[in-house]
Structure 1
Amino acid sequence: MENKPLLALAATLIYLSMCKHTSSNDECRTKVRINDYDCVTIEVLGPGGNSILMPSTTVSINENTTVLSASIDSFKQNQLAFQTGGSDTDMYITSIANLSQQSSGPLSGWLYKVNNVFIDASPSIYKLNPGDCVTWVYTTDLGKDVNAPPVIFERHYYQTSFNNFNFSQLK
């Protein structure tokens, strides 16, 4: 039974290669289920999506994993500084890699995409599925600079403040 270590190594390599994801976030690859857990990838892009602050990182998930919990796991895995705000179902990311909301003006802050689609729900309630790809991107212009659809802001951020900015002034 000397082949067991080789089989374990081969399974690990297959798992890692199938969960690997490029920073383009165009599509996710199929992956192998190991030990009742699956993986997702998380990446962080800088202002306007023009720089990579954290390359794609694979993290294991279970049926209760949210965007926020998987993101925090990936930030810790990469020793990336981060801060959160809000509480419970309204918890959100306020800073990643020392790039904070409003540090580039009143319309700047962090948005996230899942499988290349911007999501208008709090990352603390949006549950992930195996194979999902999460991209955090820093906007300096309320999402316009990263091609986020206006409906995200009309539904969510006009009803509540975004980075402590009152959007009723913009209407």
Structure 2
Amino acid sequence: MKKYILLMVFVILASMMLFTGCQKSPESVGEVTISIIGYDENIVADKEVVTIEENDTVLDITEKIIAKKEVSFEQKSGFIVSIDGQKQFDKGPESGWRYALNNQFPSLGAGSVSVKDGDEIIWIFALTIDDDGGITTEDAEQEVKEKLNGEVQLESAVNETTKTIEGLFERENGLRPFRVVLAHNLLGLEKEENFEIIQEESSLNYAINILTILAADLDPYSYNETNYVKLLADSQKENGKFVIIDWDDYPSTQAYAMAALELAGYEDYNKSSAENALIGMINEDGSVGSYMDVDTAAMALLGFMDKESEQANEAVNKILSFIKSKQLETGGFPGFDGSENIYTLAAVINGLMAVDINPNGQEFVKGENTISSALMSFYKDGRFEHEDPSGVTEVEWATEQAYLALAELYKGESSFRILKQEGINS
């Protein structure tokens, strides 16, 4: 009996070890540095590098380094009360542990603030609630609060707009247009099954179909027995342009075609010729095409996502200078009629994200207004509205285009760039 029990214990332990060994270890998504500086020159950690995993918080990173250093530690509800024997109130009624993330002091507990690759965390034992330990001389707490409020606002808008999308698109039997499919893919929602495939022959339509199919996690080389990638590639002319119908001879078609082939991993087309053709459409002032509008300039950026050549980088910088010169004091951008336009603003966000430019970076801040605040000025109750100069309010197109831009701002990445496939030749 004893032998039987011992045998069963051995089998169970062996199974547990085997099961544990088969589990995948969490994937690293980057690194952060962390320092922990107590009173009386007690340095627990000095710019230690810690690997981060998805959804890690400041508290998670702190616990990792504490475990490595093997010092005592106590936290309550995400707030640190003791590290290495140095406890809250040790140096007075306002003293205790306080952390800075990238030289700014959040008001939230360490368990509520996520980290990303490249972040720097510094813990100090503050003597007063305003003690910054010499980390920063500015009142950064309000900045952090505003940033957090902005993120909460974006998240709320994303969630509410996602709920209202269902009833907004009734054309083509309720099939989802490509921007909605891209947005849902970026947000990690369930893959779309009922999406719009444009039937009319056109280089632009083929490019849009490819992007839609990729976002639905399907194969554009054989979707419904049609190779949309080859159809698009075969439409390239000797001058590098992708043209089937007259309307295709336009910068946005060229940019979308280049982006679609690049993201589909197709390499058997004349890339340099295509790039030269798009660059040839850029005007001296950085505008693109005959209309010389912000929309077209923004869409043209999609054709330069990889920016491999020097001339491609020069082209991007030229277009960016033009877009910056047109930004309004509201943080938004003018449409064809010169007034602030949500469609133009959404196109700018898509274009900037495609070339890895942060739309909310300092270069696009106007006074207290940002591109995000400009976008949210069109938001109302789970949808976006645009009122033209004549007083007519449009919802469907405004919501479709703004929804994709909103998703990109919220996720902090391009809905196009994440579609990248491995290289394929014909």
Alignment of 1:111-130 (within 5 A): 111-130=98-117
Alignment of 1:1-171 (within 5 A): 36-47=28-39, 52-86=43-77, 91-144=78-131, 146=133, 149=139
For 1:101 and 1:84, how far apart are their aligned partners in 2? 11
Distance apart, 1:143 and its partner CA: 2.8
Q: Report the TM-score when normalising by structure 1.
A: 0.59
Higher strand share: 1
Q: Higher helix fraction: Structure 1 or Structure 2? A: 2
CA radius of gyration, larger in: 2
Q: Offset at 1:98?
A: 0.7
Distance of aligned partners of 1:104 and 1:59 in 2 relative to their CA distance in 1, 3 Å threshold = same
Q: CA deviation at 1:54?
A: 1.9
Q: Does the C-alpha gap of structure 1 residues 128 and 103 become closer, same or farther in structure 2, counting only changes over 3 Å?
A: same
Greater RCO, 1 or 2 (C-alpha within 8 Å, sep 6+): 1
Rounded to whole Å, the distance in 2 between the matches of 1:136 and 1:63 is 22
Amino acid at match of 1:136: W
Distance 2:71 2:102 in 1: 22
- 1:14 is matched with which residue? none
Query: Aligned partners of 1:67 and 1:150: how far apart in 2?
Result: 18
Identity %: 26
For the structure 1 residues 47 and 70, does the alpha-carbon distance in structure 2 shift closer, same or farther, using more than 3 Å as the test? same
Residue aligned with 1:57, SS:
strand
User: Measured at CA, do residues 151 and 145 of structure 1 come closer, stay the same or move farther in structure 2, by a change above 3 Å?
Assistant: closer
| CA distance in structure 2 between the partners assigned to 1:136 and 1:145 by the alignment | 10
Residue identity in the other structure for 1:141 = T
Mapped partners of 1:39, 1:150: distance in 2: 24
Consecutive unaligned residues of structure 2, counting only runs of 5 or more, are: 1-26, 146-426
Structure 1 position 127, deviation (Å): 0.3
**TM-score for both structures, normalised by structure 2:** 0.25
Cα offset, 1:118, TM superposition: 1.4
The alpha carbon displacement at 1:63 in A equals: 2.2
Q: 1:81 to 1:65 in 2, by over 3 A?
A: same
Change (3 A) 1:130 1:150: closer
Shift of 1:36: 4.3
CA RMSD of aligned residues (A): 2.4
Task: Report if the CA contact (8 A) 2:101-2:119 is conserved.
Answer: yes
Equivalent residue pairs, number = 114
Unaligned runs of 5+ in 1: 1-34, 156-171
For residue 70 of structure 2, give the secondary structure of its aligned residue in structure 1: coil
